[in-house]
A and B are shown apart, each in its own frame.
Chain A
Amino acid sequence: MKGLVILLLMTLVFTAGCGNETPAPSQQPAEAGGIFIEGVSGGDAETLNWILASDGSSLSYASYTIGSLATYDNDWNVVLRHLAKPVEASGDGLTYTITIRDDLKWSDGTRVTAEDYVYTLKNLMFSDWLNYPYQTDWQEMVDGETIFVEVEAVDQTTFVITRQTVDPEFADNAIYNLTPYPKHIAVKYEGDVKAFTQAEEFNNLSYTGNLGPYRFKEWIRNDKYVVERNPDYYLGQEDDSPYFEQYVTKMLGTTATVHAALEAGDITYSGIDPEKVAKFTELEGINVYTVPTSAYDLVIYNMRNNGWDGLKQKEVRQALSMSIDKQAVINSIRLGFGDPAFSFIPKPSPWYTEEGVPKFGYGPLHDKKKAKEMLYAAGYGARQPDGSIAVQDKDGKPLKLTLVTTPGSRLAEDLAFLVKQELADIGIEVEVKLVPWPTLLRKHVMNKVPGSDQEPRNNNGPEAVSEEPWDFIVMVFNTHPIAPSGSRVFFSTEGGLNFWGYSNPRVDELFVNIRSKEALDIEARKSMYAELSQLIAEDQPVDFLSFPRGNHGFQANVEGIDVGMRLSWNYHKWYFSKP
């Protein structure tokens, strides 16, 4: 669906995922007509000028009209979009040759050329003046310096990207997501960020020609985003797709309103809360599809100097994770719609393994008694006269720890309180602090070395601490199932988002190796991922809780859906069956 996959975007909103059931193929031929309305309860996007966007919704809005080089189907096969043929990587993994289709056109009729892509990369995405948020995807470390990859146009439809280091997942992490700006328009604004921000063509996507299945029609902020059928769509020349006259994203405030609208038939599709699945499944006119996602929820342990000292010990973290019941998370909060998480790689990923991965908080390793024993062994407990263990701090005082998460999201709150409940059972009192997202980032995530004049960042080295002390943070992360190596920003010592201060030299090494020549070999990479999974699960810098499953409700007359983790990969081929 959302053509651009956003890597490692930390978000509390889940995107859709992959499948386990396929509807019976319809006998009816696809025919254009009807308005598809997707109901959402979240906020609006920020901008259609996608290079400036720092939120997921913006990229997804833009993807309806502009599309990217390639996408994946439910089996994680690469499906070509703007690409004329698969990306050709050289044997040494350093050169990528990209050939785009020759029938792509801007709205003014000019051809989309390789030069547009090169310009977009070099002059816009790599520029200082625009500050493209995902620049790191296109950077590599060479001799301790961060540099951008080399890009060069070969002819009208071909351009070449040259790296100096090997990254086997470069295409998945960066190239497939690439979307062009029209050079001949963008040059007018070059260097002037204000003009670029306010450029009308970019803000209402009037340049996108035949690049996407839909064209921009209307955007009423906080109400709806409307795109209409693009008759010139390059993929539609053979099969006349897309089949909806309009695709509307309707913002409806609360999930209750969204559910009511779906039930009333006012909208065509929306996500469904677990509590409502049973009800909607029974409804005649609604089909509910349950698919896995690549997001996972987790409890982060603060290993920096302003967290509880105990958290620096692996055994203590393991003990805590051991007493938090993953199955309880899945049962009580997700009502069964989830899979236990032990590491950062989701189950549908080809790199997933359970071999040698300790499953703290699951099955036999969910053991509160043993957790107490481990805490006692680590020095955080006292043996009572009756032989039981009272968990306490080293100085004999009761343990009082702080858990921080964001308010307004029921899921995050539920998780936080569940953790509180579970840890209360082993005698640790947890205070839940609900802090708005921006404040959480500023006060708890961003850190710097005390007394220094550092600019606060997400990871300013092992000595840095955040402004406010904390012990746990509950969050939701996302992994690219095909290219999980992006998670290095979380788990390597220098990782830009490793704000909890985790450090394991072997893990760092593995993350480096995974982006090197030896990892070009699939089996080698597989074993690296397996070792990473084992190490991180063993170290428990964070307690992985669960990979939730998403529930999606469609009006029963929507045909052509390929149910799976990437539910909407072929959304331009969906259509309404005639009654």
Chain B
Amino acid sequence: MKKAGLRGYIIKRLIYAAIITWGVVTITFVLLRVGPMSPADKYLSNMSARTQDPAQVVAAIEARYGLDKPIYEQYFDYVVNLARGDWGWSFSNSLPVVTLIRRHWVYSFQLILLSMLFSATLGILIGVFSAVKRYTRTDYLATLFSFIGISIPNFWLGIMLILIFSVQLGWFKSYYDTGLPMFSLANLKALVLPVITLGTGMMAGYTRYARSATLDNLKQDFVRTARAKGLPERVVIGKHVLRNAILPIITIIMFDLSGIVFGGAYLTEIIFGIPGLGRVSFNALFASDYPVVVTITLIGAMVVLLTNLATDIVYTRLDPRIRYD
């Protein structure tokens, strides 16, 4: 009964995921084709090229990128090629989009990973602490801090950090060097400001979630039971409360990926010149290199979809209370 319910639930989620994937792919195709700049237009933005016969140029360039076929055939090719792992050819980088992404995703991943580690650890710590010390000055300070953290525009924070620590104090001047190992000291140092930039907002959010989740659970009867058993407070909080509070927090962290993290990482990479997918996408956008932009957006969507799916499924394992029907 239970097993069947779980399997049914997972199958249902997978079917949804498939439908959503199809929707996402279709929308990206539409975006790709409504773009007013075709690669031919892009080519023609070089004014010297403009002296040639435009019709001939357009035909030649469209042939270069397979855009001369009827639209339904293009759609079909697009879907099939995506499935085959052929994500098109960058208009302005002279290489397959897939190669470009394979090169750059790690930098985004590193930034996001470090920021999440930083923000989740600190955020949960502060949130739990603030809940335990609720209605004290510490708590109010933590709450105010989280309000500030949520409200501070992260791109502005990035600039301010540069202004203070890089321009005025001269502490963090180095740039991220792809020639060095990803976790080399120099690169980690170069990532300090970006991680704070991206992490502060998230941390503030997690502080709030952690505080309210901890408060919710602190009110629960089982906390009293645990105390009545004579457990020290740190075990009561650290084991009984946190174990219950952590699931909703993790869910929120996972769901955060879509809006806050990707948007934030995008801006952070641009501000700090980290060669991740955000910066690639940004540069590609201004080069009107739509296949790259669209594919990165698509990847973002798929990451969101998969993490949500994974979170849902893992949740069923982690939280014994969940019922699947």
Contacts and interface: CB of A to CB of B under 8 A. Distances in A.
Given A46-B94, A47-B94, A133-B48, A224 B178 contact: yes
Interface string A68-106: 000000000000000000000000000000000000000
Contacts of B170: 264
A55 B60 CA distance: 18
A252 B63 contact: no
B47 interface: yes
A387 interface: no
B279 interface: yes
A263 to B, nearest CB: 7
A503 to B, nearest CB: 17
A43 B286 contact: yes
B280 A252 contact: no
Interface string B110-129: 00000000000000000000
Contact of B275 (A220, A455, A456): A220
A189 interface: no
B226 interface: no
Contacts of A528: none
Interface in A126-151: 128-131, 133-136
Contacts of B64: 193-194, 197
Given A52-B94, A264-B173, A266-B174, A134 B54 contact: no
B19 interface: no
Contacts, number: 143
Interface in B98-153: 100, 103-104
B46 A203 contact: no
B51 to A, nearest CB: 3
B283 interface: yes
A458 B273 contact: no
B273 A194 contact: no
A489 interface: yes
Given A44-B283, A221-B280, A497 B47 contact: yes
Interface stretch (A254-262, A339-347, A411-419, A545-553): A254-262
A154 B214 CA distance: 86
A134 B272 CA distance: 36
Interface in A416-440: 437-438
Interface residues of B, number: 54
A48 interface: yes
B83 interface: no
Interface string A235-261: 000000000000000111110110011
B41 A438 contact: yes
B288 interface: yes
A222 interface: yes
Contacts of B53: 455
Contact of B48 (A8, A226, A253, A442): A8
* Centre residue among A44, A48, A54 by max chain B CB count within 10 A: A54
B212 interface: no
A223 interface: yes
> Which of B57, B93, B272 is packed against the most chain A CB atoms within 10 Å?
B93
Given A222-B279, A261-B173, 10 more contacts: A10-B47, A128-B60, A131-B61, A194-B63, A203-B95, A252-B175, A260-B173, A266-B175, A457-B51, A457-B54
Complex A-B, nearest 7 residue pairs according to Cβ-Cβ distance, in ascending order: A496-B51, A47-B94, A223-B275, A54-B46, A133-B49, A253-B273, A264-B173
27 contacts: A43-B283, A44-B93, A46-B93, A54-B45, A54-B46, A131-B49, A131-B57, A133-B52, A194-B66, A198-B89, A203-B95, A221-B100, A221-B104, A223-B178, A223-B275, A226-B179, A256-B162, A257-B273, A261-B174, A264-B173, A266-B174, A455-B53, A455-B54, A457-B50, A457-B54, A496-B50, A497-B48
